[in-house]
Amino acid sequence: MGAVVTEKWIHRYEPAPDADRRLVCFPHAGGAAPYFVPVARAMAGDTDVLAVQYPGRQERRQEPCLGSIDELARAAVDALAPWLDRPVTLFGHSMGAMVAFEAARLLERDGRAPQGLVVSGRRAPTCVRPTRDLVHLRDDEGLMAEIRGMDGTDDRILADEELLRMILPVIRGDYRAVEGYRYRPGPPLSCPVLALTGDTDPQVTPEEARSWAEHTTGRFDITVFPGGHFYLNSQGEAVIRAIAEHMSAADSPRAR
């Protein structure tokens, strides 16, 4: 696919033009760029935080969702081209971890390897759970039940069934991309990887998160927080601190 218009894909809430590093944030399924506003505010000054905005939501709601993780990663990498003038760390939660990982692989293949990768709330791509129940094939009630069970959607949206049904196509499209993803074997990344997870997340066990170590020849660390799939909502300060420490450690020779 050709180059995309950067303004559509990249949101920059707290510009830090003098920062010597960048953090690029990739949202979860059904999520949008503003989810990372607290990260941008907390890291403003020493880190220039960018948030990826996928098509199909908010100001991009008239655009169709992309059909695969690979398409999302390729489009995001195209949009990031003007922002690679300084070290970049990629950070993704849940579906965003998958997009960030594939984006990191593309960047490394193109000779523009990121300085680091932070993957949150997602099993390593080689950890495949057998399933007969594909969420994206459920009816609307089944899809809404899945959303409610994740405890990550604003209560005001969950209470407004009409609004919830409006966003269901986007969520269904994202789940279709996630459930259609197939890992393609390839060289491991060279950058350090940090895995973050909640200790009661039904989507990933700490052991499955540790398997991310297989996907880098660089340093690997894991931090397990109290909480479920959206542990970030209650552990925000600690998560941001862990990411900042990971970025700082990436400057150390031991990280490579």
Q: What is the dihedral of CA 97, 238, 190, 256, to 10 degrees?
A: 180
Looking at residue 82, its amino acid is: P
Give the C-alpha separation, 210 to 15, whole Å. Answer: 33
* Across 39-44, average pLDDT: 95
Render pLDDT for 109-153 as a digit per residue (tens, 0 to 9): 999 999 999 999 999 999 987 776 787 677 777 777 777 766 655
Looking at residue 38, its amino acid is: P
Q: Which residues pair with 169 in a beta bridge?
A: none
Find out whether 224 and 206 touch, Cβ atoms under 8 Å: yes
**DSSP structural state of residue 106:** H
Render pLDDT for 80-107 as a digit per residue (tens, 0 to 9): 999 999 999 999 999 999 999 999 999 9
Q: Which pTM value belongs to this model?
A: 0.89
Render pLDDT for 167-187 as a digit per residue (tens, 0 to 9): 788 888 898 999 999 999 999
Three-state helix/strand/coil letters over 151-202: CCCCHHHHHCHHHHHHHHHHHHHHHHHHHCCCCCCCCCECCCEEEEEECCCC
pLDDT of residue 61: 87
What are the residue numbers of the active site?
94, 229
